[in-house]
Structure formats: C-alpha cells, structure tokens
Amino acid sequence: MTVYVIGSINQDIVATSDSHMRPGETLTGNDLNYYPGGKGANQAIAAARAGAAVAMIGCTGDDAAGSDLRAYLAEAGVDVTRVQVKAGTPTGTALIVVAQGENSIIVIQGANQEVGLATIEGIPFAAGDVVVSQFETPVATALAAFTKARQLGARTLLNPSPVEPIAQELLYQLDFLVVNEHEFEQIFDRPLGPVLHGKAGAPAAFAGTLIVTLGSDGVLTLSGGGRIRHGGRSVEVVDSTGAGDCFAGYLAAALHDGNDLENAVALANVAASMSVTRPGAASSMPEISDVRAASE
C-alpha cells in the first residue's frame, strides 16, 4: 500500500522581516534562506516522516534546483521515480515573506504546470492506497487520478490550496477534503461560524469527510453527520509555512496506516503544531517518533 502525492515541487526562497510589505513599500529584511517546498513535496515528505511508503508524482525543471529537490525528496524516503524532468522549463519557485510568525507567498508554477495526464499513466492504484493532491498543479490531473483510484478501491484526499472553486464532479471523487477556514468559506460560499459552533451542519454539496483546520484553535472534523473537535496546542510559532501541508501529509499517512479518523486527525494536529516551531516548509516536517512522544 502506498500514499501517492500528486502535486507541486518548489524551491522556496524565504525572507524574514519585522512586518509585511504594503503596496509600494520597501522594507529591509532580517534573513534570507532557501528551502525545499511546494505543497505536493511538503505533503509527501510529511507522509514519509510519518512512516508511510510514499510516491511523488510531479515535475521539476532540468535546472540545479530541480536536481537538488529530487535528491532531497529521495533522502526523505520518498519514491521519486515518477517525478518527470522537463527540459527548458524552470522548477517551480515560491517567494515567501515571514513576519511575526505569519507568511505571505507568491508562487511561480514553472514545471508544476506540466503535471498533466501523462504523469499518472500506469500508476498501479490499489485498495488501501491513499491518493493526495492540491491546487498547485492542474486540477484535471487530480480529477483523473482520483476517479481511477476510487474505482480501484483507494481513498482520495484533496487539500484545495491555493483556493479556487471546486467543480461538483471533483467533490464526488473525494473521500477527504482538508481546508482552512478561509478556504471553507470561499469554496462553499457560506460562513464557517455556524458550522463551527454546531448551529449548522456540513455543506450538502460534499458528502465525504470534511476537515477544517483552525490554526491555533485546532481542527473540526465533520463526517457522516457527526463532528469531532480537537483543540489547538500552545506552541511558540517561528514559521507557519507548510503547517497545512504537514497536517495533510500526516493525515494521509495515519489513514494509510489503519488509524481511525479521530486518531488520524489527532496525530496530524500534533504534527502540524510542531512544524510551526521550525523554519521552512519541507524542512519543518517532524519525525513520527517526536510526534508520538508529544502526543503522550
């Protein structure tokens, strides 16, 4: 059984500052670092550090950044044999400003735009697999992969970020939808407050398991008419970049490992809270032994 992650692979360029820029403003930063990133790669590394067998499906350029990122994924225990190298195309890049624990991000897609239907040809999806995707690569590829995977008995998980409208045909192919509060409101065009406080149920448009991450306030899970609430953990936030990816990757791995939904979400919640105490995205993903120790 495998966790397949279809998604982006980026070089993250991270500048730290005392505050975020306003339009037309120039600030002096404090530090500059280069990290491996991309929502797909982050989630794949999180799932691998959670102990799952993980295969990455994506594309990089034939540049130095692409070579380094493929090597980093492999060293983290991710199978990169299905990562395609696109000649003459730059590897995806994210420009990130971190100030007061919050981040602003501009993403240049580069080779991530090339994650087309050919990248999922011949993947041996099977019962027990978990197939994960996001919105930094073409949605048509995720839809095709999810449709095929579910026909073969695998489960599907979408983290629709950066947020955009979701077609009903894609919602039909999802077992798990992981969103933050802003994504919930944009996708379903309704406020989260009534749902959060038990005055309204899950949106009728989605029949699967809906998981809403709430940052320091924890996680709300809506499934089969029931609701589970996990509280947040008090930690010192250094860099929130990649926290949502950590949650999604750990959740996929925990489900793949046979955990029930409540325990899987609890483990992912702890892992995500640990990731924000470290700089970077992929580099901040904690090891499973540390997460289990913190969960006791």
Q: By percentage, how much of the chain surpasses pLDDT 70?
A: 100
**Mean pLDDT, rounded, of the chain:** 93
**For 200-206, what is the mean pLDDT?**
88
For 67-90, what is the mean pLDDT?
Answer: 97
Q: Can 62 be counted among the known catalytic residues?
A: no
Distance of alpha carbon 213 from alpha carbon 47, whole angstroms: 18
- Torsion sign (Cα): 140, 144, 146, 147: positive
Nearest to 48 by CA among 2, 83, 8: 2
pLDDT attached to residue 238: 84
Section 77-82 average pLDDT: 98
Q: pLDDT: is 186 or 104 the higher one? A: 186
List Cβ neighbours of 250 (8 Å cut-off, separation of 6 or more). Answer: 46, 47, 50, 267, 268, 271, 272, 291
User: Is residue 124 pLDDT above 80, yes or no?
Assistant: yes
**Residue 62, by phi and psi: left (phi above 0), alpha (psi -120 to 50) or beta?**
alpha
Q: What is the pLDDT of residues 224-242, one digit of tens each?
A: 888 999 998 888 888 787 8
Domains of the chain by range and CATH? 3-9+38-88+116-295 (3.40.1190.20)
Say how far apart CA 46 and CA 284 lie, in whole Å. Answer: 9
Indicate the pLDDT class of residue 218, thresholds 50, 70 and 90: very high
Percent pLDDT > 90 in the chain is 77
d(CA 63, CA 60) in angstroms, rounded, equals: 8
Q: How many helices (H) and strands (E) does the chain have?
A: 9, 14
Q: Give the active site residue among 245, 257, 260, 290.
A: 245
Give the lowest-confidence range in 205-214, 219-228, 275-284: 275-284
Q: Tell me the pLDDT tens digit for each residue of 131-171.
A: 999 999 999 999 999 999 999 999 999 999 999 999 999 99
pLDDT tens for 256-279 read 999 999 999 999 999 999 999 888
Note the pLDDT tens digit of each residue in 18-74.
999 889 999 999 999 898 999 999 999 999 999 999 999 999 999 999 999 999 999
Residue 200: band (very low, low, confident or very high) from pLDDT cuts 50, 70, 90: confident
* pLDDT score for 117: 97
- Predicted confidence at residue 101, as pLDDT, reads 74
- Cβ pair 136, 248 in contact under 8 A: no
